[in-house]
Amino acid sequence: MSLDHLLLGALREPASGYDLKATFEQVYRHFWPAELSQIYRTLRRLEAEGLLTSRRAASDIGPERRVYRTTAKGRARLRRWLQEGPQVSDDRHAFCAQVFFLDELEEPEARLTFLRALRDEFAVRRSQLEAIEAQWRADDPRYPDGLPPAELMQQFTLALGIEKFGAIARWAETCIARLEARQQQETADAAPL
Amino acid sequence: MSLDHLLLGALREPASGYDLKATFEQVYRHFWPAELSQIYRTLRRLEAEGLLTSRRAASDIGPERRVYRTTAKGRARLRRWLQEGPQVSDDRHAFCAQVFFLDELEEPEARLTFLRALRDEFAVRRSQLEAIEAQWRADDPRYPDGLPPAELMQQFTLALGIEKFGAIARWAETCIARLEARQQQETADAAPL
DNA sequence: CACTGCATGTAACCTGTTACATGATTTC
DNA sequence: GAAATCATGTAACAGGTTACATGCAGTG
């Protein structure tokens, strides 16, 4: 039900499904990706439940839009979700399962290749979030601790993304170093002076 | 399709669905939780695809078991999955979405309560993995860098779990400190000498 | 006899993904 | 006139969750 609450939160400011998709791509992506088809479907359901209202609106540039907004009931639902405390679900990391069975690749070099690709992938993701942070810092002299409450909370989530991706990239780097050290050790053992 | 590959990897050693559930709980849980009903369903499908075989076996203690094992074809499939490189999917963190909208709770104390619960939850999870690590270290003098390859890879995944939960707990702690500092600042501003 | 643990499964449901369909408006 | 962007949707499918059903064997 998290998508529901994300939409209720986002639609405290009016927006169309198409607008929301852009927000998901730019802002929520690193903690909650969503496809347009799912957004539209969920918006209709939330409206039927009375948690959102919609009105048609002309677009400057394309076809008519349907603009949604959270109702008082929807806002109460959002608040209840927050009051219930943190909803910590288990996450699924396919790459971690892969590492678990990586011994199945018998060549040490293949294992290193895998781990380097992993490190690079997360380093890129971290950099992308750091770029967003740098832009924000450049645009607003209050960044980060002078920001108003709503934006401060949003800054917290950005900081988490950077920490999380950074932690995984550093972990991969450590694994690589440990494997390399082991390989050197084995070479030394195989050809003693 | 990661559950498929996890089962193919796990069933390089024979096991029943029930056994596998225990392994998921104890070992895979922090990167890939799975329910029994889903495990059974997937085992049957993988057998139909020729990636697993099964035989009936008596149990010492309960009803007859169905013991599965990965076939050569299944093992090749596993290896291919690893050779395709890291499969990095986006993850969903409901708690992060909650933090994003936490300004909706207007009392600063409510926000702190939320963040403290979050910190505690992840600190507990980290401790649980650290306990597993301590046990392993006590049981095997080769831990960690003298372990044979298969176990070394498994140790890598444990280390990731500890890092990941630790990073989130530290992040939450930082958020708490920043909010507390802000509150003190506001109190000082409101009542200057 | 009730309870716990062992063991396998079915059915209904919910959430999320992928592929496709439709059509307006602007730009090259 | 073709392509890109804006905009809304449908349908089929895949993956995961929850609730329930069944029955064996050992323990208190």
Q: Which domain holds residue B64?
A: 3-83
* Least confident window among A89-103, B59-73, B85-99: B59-73
Same domain, residue pair A169 and A99:
yes
Q: Is A77 in the same domain as A99?
A: no
DSSP class of residue B61? Answer: S
Listed by number, the residues of chain A in 160-179 with a beta carbon closer than 8 Å to a beta carbon of chain B are 160, 163-164, 166-168, 170-171, 174-175, 178
Give the pLDDT confidence of A107-119 residue by residue, as tens digits.
Answer: 999 999 999 999 9
pLDDT digits (tens, 9 = 90+) for B106-122: 999 999 999 999 999 99
Question: What is the C-alpha separation between B103 and A157, in angstroms, rounded?
Answer: 13
Answer whether residue B58 shows pLDDT above 90: no
* pLDDT of res. B62: 66
| Half-sphere exposure of residue A132: CA atoms within 13 angstroms, side-chain side | 18
pLDDT at A62: 64
Q: Which residues of chain A are within 8 Å of residue B33 when distances are taken between CB atoms?
A: 90, 92
Percent of chain A with pLDDT over 70: 97
A153: left (phi over 0), alpha (psi -120 to 50) or beta: alpha
Mean pLDDT over B35-51 rounds to 96
The answer to whether residue A164 is domain-embedded is yes
Q: Which of A114, A109, A110, A113 is nearest to A98 (CA)?
A: A114
What confidence category does residue A90 fall into, taking pLDDT thresholds of 50, 70 and 90? confident
Residue A68 pairs with which residues in a beta bridge? A15, A54
Cα–Cα distances (Å) from A62 to A18, A21, A54, A65, A193, in that order, read 12, 16, 18, 8, 76
Residues B120 and B68 in one domain: no
Q: Flag whether A89 is in a domain.
A: no
For residues B34-42, give the mean pLDDT. 96
Question: Could you say which of A49, A83, A117 is where a domain stops?
Answer: A83
pLDDT score, position A186: 82
Q: Please compute the mean of the pLDDT values over residues A40-58 and round it to a whole number.
A: 93
Give the pTM.
0.94
Whether A187 has a pLDDT exceeding 90, the answer reads: no
Helix/strand/coil for A3: helix
Residue B176: predicted pLDDT: 98
Q: Band of the pLDDT at B189, cuts 50, 70, 90?
A: confident
CA distance B171 to B119: 8
| Nucleotides on chain C within 7 angstroms of protein Cβ | 5-12, 14-20, 23-26
CATH number of the structural domain spanning residue A11: 1.10.10.10
- Mean pLDDT within A9-14: 96
Count CB neighbours of B149 within 10 A.
16
Whether residues A101 and A180 fall in one domain: yes
Residue B38 confidence (pLDDT) above 70: yes
Query: CA A68 to CA A162: how far, in whole Å?
Result: 31
User: Of the candidates B87, B89, B99, which has its C-beta nearest A156's C-beta?
Assistant: B99
Residue type, B90: D
CA B168 → CA A178, B22, B119, B134, distances in Å? 24, 27, 7, 21
Shared domain for A50 and A110, answered yes or no, is: no
Number of structural domains in chain A = 2
